[in-house]
Structure 1
Amino acid sequence: MPPPTAGGINEPQECPYCRRTFSCYYSLKRHFQDKHEQSDTLYVCEFCHRRYRTKNSLTTHKSLQHRGSSGMLKRLLKTSALHGALAPAPHHLFELGERAPPLPPGLQ
């Protein structure tokens, strides 16, 4: 990864390989990782198991396709661990039309 230009990390940056200009060093760094770095590593989505060549691509996929999924899963696991058998069942375990019991305060 090339170092930032003399103007600093918040100044426009140019890719030394394709001459594309970016608004800041972070944008150039992400572009460089996505387009110019070579890696045999594949990043796998833990929700749908799709594979991506870059970590940035996986992060973008998860934010667009699974927004809130990891947070809900973590809360569910935490609730289950804290409350054991008293934890409300996940909504998908109830019959169609049946309502799940409300979550305790602070876990909504």
Structure 2
Amino acid sequence: MTEYVVRFIAGGIIVSAFAILGDMLKPKSFAGLLGAAPSVALATLGIAVVQHGPQYAAAESWTMIYGAVALGCYSVVVCHLLIRYCVSALPATVLAGIVWLAVAFGLLAGFGGAA
């Protein structure tokens, strides 16, 4: 139960800090970008370090990096399918989702969870 309280408080503080940072930047669309994923990732890694140690947190951080790279590939594929090839949204996201899975699991299989 205390783990959930710590996650709630740490996540709230970090989300608020990133939201303030995003609000100070231009364009304002950065506020939403900075308010979600980085703050949740930092809170999760902080809790992982406290509960499981730095080695475990390092492995977790690498899987987050692989997911981010896969998301970048997903975004590029979706943009090309939607704009260049005029594919409708549902097939484009499904195909790009397959690309995301292939890249994420390929990186995980190729490099593993730790450096």
TM-score, with structure 1 as normaliser:
0.30
Higher relative contact order (CA 8 A, sep 6+): 2
Pick the structure with more helix per residue: 2
More strand by share: 1
TM superposition score normalised by structure 2: 0.29
| Larger Cα-atom Rg | 1
